[in-house]
Structure 1
Amino acid sequence: MSAATPIRILIAGEGAIAGIHLQALHEIGGAEVVCVAGGVAADTAAFAAQWGIPEYSQDFAASLARDDIDAVILASPSPLHAEQASAAIAAGKHVLAEIPMSLNLSDAERLSAEAAATDKVCMVAHTRRFSAPHVELKRRIAAGEFHLQHLVAETYFLRRDNRNMFGKPRSWTDCLLWHHACHSVDLFAWLLDDAELEVWGSAGPRHPELGIPMDMNIGLRARSGAMASLVLSFNNRGPIGGHYRYIGEEATLLAYRDELKDHEGVLQSVPAGSSFARQDAEFLAAIREGRTPESSFAACLPTMRLLDKLDRAMGVTPH
C-alpha cells in the first residue's frame, strides 16, 4: 500500500477508548476513519459528529462487510473483543484489538491460530509496550545500563459502579485481572524477554452488585530473579491509571503516563510521542510494510497464559 494512500478504518465502539484512538490517528495521520459501529445509537451518532466520521451504524457485521474498509480498530467492550476480532480476521481485514484480546485463554489461543493463518496484520493494544518511559527502560535493561531488581506497579480507578474513565455509564463490567493486570504482567515479561514467569496472587472481596473482585495483589518473578509486585484497586480515589516504580541497581525511576522521573523528581529523557500515537502508528506502519507488528496476537499469547495461571490460582473466573 502506498504511503500516500490513507488506510481506511472501521472503528468499533463509541466510548472513552475509541476517542483516544481517534485523537491518536489525527495526530499521526495516514488513516481515514470511514465508519464507526457502536452500541448505543445516540452515543454513536454523537461520536461520529464529534470526530467528523461520515457514517455510523449499530451493525458491526454489516459495517465489516464493506469493501471500502482496510482495517478495524476494536475499541468495543472487552467481552466483545474475541468475537469481533475473529469476524474481522475472517472478513480479511487488518485488526487492532484493544486489550485484552479475550477474557480467557481458550479464545486467545483460537484467535492466535486464526491470525497465524492470515496475511493480515493482527495486533493487540498492549499500550505499555509503546509508552516512552517503558521503551526507554527496556533499552537501558537490554544495554546493561539498568539492572532491574523490583518493579512495583500500582493501578488505580474508582469504579464502584459501572462507569468509564470519564464517569459515563457503562453497559458492561470491567475486569481487574484480564484487562488492567494484563498491561503490567505483559510489561514485565516484555521488559525482560521472559514469558516463563513464576506468578502468584490473591483477590479481595467481590462487589455485591458488580460481582467482581475490586482489589488484587499479584507477584511475579523472572528467571533472572527480578521481581514485580502489582497492586490493583477499583476502590481508590485519586489519579487514575498505572504508576510504575522501577527499583534498580543504578537508580530508582518513576513512570506515569508518558513521563519518567528519578527519585528526586528530575525528568529523564525518553522517546517523543504519546503511547497511543506510537502504538497506532506501529499498526499503520506494519500494514504498509507488510510485516508483523510489535504486540502481535502471537507475541501477546504468552501473557494470556500467565493470566490464566493467575486466574486459576485466584479464583477470579469460575472454571
Structure 2
Amino acid sequence: MAERAGDQAAGLRRLFGRERMRIVTFAAGSVGVGKSVTVANLAAALARQGKETLIIDENADDQVAALFGSVGRHDLQEVLDRRRKLADTLLTLAPGVRLLRAERAMRSLAGLADAQRDALLESIGGMERPADVILIDASSSYPRGFSPLALAADETVMVLAPTSSAITEAYALIKKLSLGFARRRFRLLVNKVRGADEAEAIHANIAHVTQSRGLARTEFAGHVPLDEHLRQAERLCQPVTALFPDAPAAAAFRQLAGDLLCWPQPDGDDGGFEHFVQQLIHLSQRIDCTAIHAR
C-alpha cells in the first residue's frame, strides 16, 4: 500500500511539476450573500487574465452553471463509481472556464472506499493539467460541517454581506472551522457593500473578535460593491466583466483576480494540486463524522 501511494505521488509530481496551481475555497455562513455569483464572475475574470480556471461546485442549485447559461449534467460521483472519466465530467462554461459538479460526491467523500479512492487517483493521473486555478464553491449545507474538498484547499475565502445576520453566521462558521478542523487563517470578502470603508470596517470587527478569542487570523480579501450591472448580468446569464466591463463590480472582480494570483503560496511541498489530492485522500479517511455546531 505504501509503495503504491509513493508511485501515485511521484506521478502527480511529474504531472503537475510546473508553476504551482492555486486552489481556493469560497465559503459562506449563510445563503444569499452572493458566494456563487462571486465564484462565477471571479472565474471569468481569471480567464480573461489568461488563467485556465476550474470551478468545483458542491451546491445543489447549479447556480454557477446557470450564470453562464449552461446546465451541469454530470457529477464527480460518477468518477468515484467508475461510470465516467474525470475529464468527461467537466463542462466548459466559457473560454478558460470549466465546471466540475460535486454535489452528490461531497456527501460520500468523508469515508471513501478503497475502490473509490483508487478511481479518483487514477482519473486525476490520467488527465491533462486541469487548470491554473481551482475555485471551490463550498456547500453551506454539508452535513458534517465542511467537506473534505473544501478543507483540502490552500486558501479559504469567507464571503459575507453587510448585514448583522450574515456577519454573525460568517463568524460562526469561522469558529466552527477553527475549533473543529484547526483552521487558523481565512480571507474575508465583503459583498454588496456601498464602499471600501464599509467593507474594511466589517473585516476589522471580525478580525478583532476572532483574534482576541484565539480562533483564527483573518486577512481582508477585498469587496464587491452593490451594483445593478451585476444583477442585470446575472439575469442575462453572463459574467459582468463580459457584458459591462466598465461597471464597478467588473472592476472589483478584476482586482480580486489579480490579487488572488499574487497571494503568497506555501513554502516547500505544502501546496499545489499534489498536496490538494493528498489532503483530500487523508481527510476522506480521517474527517470526524460528527457535525460540529459551534456558536
TM range (shorter): 0.3 to 0.5
Greater per-residue strand proportion = 1
Structure with greater helix share of residues: 2
CA radius of gyration, larger in: 1
Bigger relative contact order, structure 1 or 2 (CA pairs below 8 A, ≥6 apart): 2
Using structure 2 for the length normalisation, give the TM-score: 0.37
TM-score of the aligned structures, taking structure 1 as reference length: 0.35
